[in-house]
Amino acid sequence: MNSPKRTIIPFGPQHPVLPEPIHLDLVVEDEKVIEAIPSLGFIHRGLERLVEKRDFIDFVYVAERICGICSFIHGLTYCIAIEEIMQIEVPKRANYLRLIWSELSRIHSHLLWLGLMADGFGFEALFMHTWRLREKILDIIEETTGGRIIFGSAKIGGVRKDISSEKLAQILEKLKNYAQEIREITNVFINDSSVKHRLVGVGVLSKEDAYILGAVGPTLRASGVGLDTRKLGYAAYKEIDFEPIIETAGDSYSRCLVRIREIFQSIEIIKQAAGKIEPGAIEVKVTGTPNGEFFARTEQPRGEVIYYAKADGSRFLQRLRVRTPTFANVPAMVKLLPGCQLADVPILVLTIDPCISCTER
């Protein structure tokens, strides 16, 4: 018997489910994907090179604009790298505020992902409701920092804005109500048979594969590896009691579950932080220039981000390298695709939560 004819189907860079451009050449036999060949590089902006032309203090603004979703954590990681090189002690209150904003951005990123996912499998009403809830988190962010997406509050030596204790109490009260609303919507993802039909058992990534391919974030934790960079204790995480969220099945459904559970975990963490935050200074004055190098690692909603900064004592850094979570997750995504049905490709690409503008910088 002859083997079925192979066809190559181009997927992207413009595709309804893709928020950002990535191109895949899908080798298919009938409806079954045999191989996926990714190509990247559509939106390279050369932001790493820009570090040689921008003062190291001003570059925080550029670092924040590497990504439109995890903007704050990008800025924060850059600040941590420079602060470690210059040995600046960040005030305790600033660390707690950094933690609160990091967790708020995690909630809004995961809600965004859930919405995109619902849109990906064609559940429009669910998509609209998820984004309606995300809007409320964005309101809190705008109220406290001034920006909806680009917070602009990270700064070398601390933070720019403060949250008063009354405001913090209001935020907690709001989050309590939102948690209930979010649960109503996430229950649909967890329980609804039509959603489960699209997700359970689709795109299984084994524990060994996830580890060997260097997957990070929810993609890794859904395969049963409990690595969470927040446990390193940057910002104020060392004083917060939490455990990484792990699922073991490794399929699309577990990746969805990990993110849903992380939303509620983030709300818990903000609650803990609000109880422990103390009044005090929010920034220290930065004098001098950095000289040395440092690897800063933090946990973004999508996974671990690494900033390598090298400075030579001038006002301009010599080198900045950003390893973003999607870059680490692309090999895992390519591993997931062979063997799946063509109709499942959009879902599988979305389950790693791709952020291509981060990846290409």
Partner 1 sequence: MKIFVMAKKVLTSLCARPATFRYPLVPKTYYKNTRGSITIDINRCIYCGMCQRKCPAQAILVTKADKEWKIDRLRCVSCGYCVELCPVKCLSMKNTYSASTQIREEEAFRRA
Name the residues that contact partner 1, by CB under 8 A: 54-55, 58, 61-62, 65, 125-126, 129, 132, 135, 142-147, 150, 152, 160-161, 184-185, 187-188, 191-194, 196
Tell me the closest approach of the beta carbon of residue 147 to partner 1, in angstroms.
6
Tell me the closest approach of the beta carbon of residue 23 to partner 1, in angstroms.
29
Looking at the Cβ atoms of 62 and 69, the one nearer to partner 1 is 62
The encoded tokens of residue 122 equal: 């064609």
Looking at the Cβ atoms of 27 and 43, the one nearer to partner 1 is 43
Looking at the Cβ atoms of 143 and 268, the one nearer to partner 1 is 143
b/e 104-125 (16+ beta carbons within 10 angstroms → b): bbbbbbbbbbbbbbbbbbebee
Tell me the closest approach of the beta carbon of residue 47 to partner 1, in angstroms.
11
244, exposed or middle or buried, with CB in 10 Å at 0-12, 13-18, 19+?
middle
The C-alpha atoms of residue 232 and residue 259 are separated, in whole angstroms, by 20
Tell me the closest approach of the beta carbon of residue 344 to partner 1, in angstroms.
20
Looking at the Cβ atoms of 190 and 342, the one nearer to partner 1 is 190
Tell me the closest approach of the beta carbon of residue 26 to partner 1, in angstroms.
31
Tell me the closest approach of the beta carbon of residue 342 to partner 1, in angstroms.
25
Listed as own residue / partner, the contacts of 222-229 with beta carbons closer than 8 Å and 24 or more positions apart are 222/246, 222/247, 222/249, 222/250, 222/251, 222/254, 222/255, 222/257, 222/258, 223/248, 223/250, 223/254, 224/248, 224/250, 227/304, 228/299, 229/297, 229/298, 229/299, 229/304
Looking at the Cβ atoms of 184 and 312, the one nearer to partner 1 is 184
Tell me the closest approach of the beta carbon of residue 94 to partner 1, in angstroms.
16
Looking at the Cβ atoms of 7 and 187, the one nearer to partner 1 is 187
Looking at the Cβ atoms of 58 and 241, the one nearer to partner 1 is 58
Q: Which residues contact 202 (CB under 8 A, 6 or more apart)?
A: 251, 252, 253, 340, 344, 347, 348
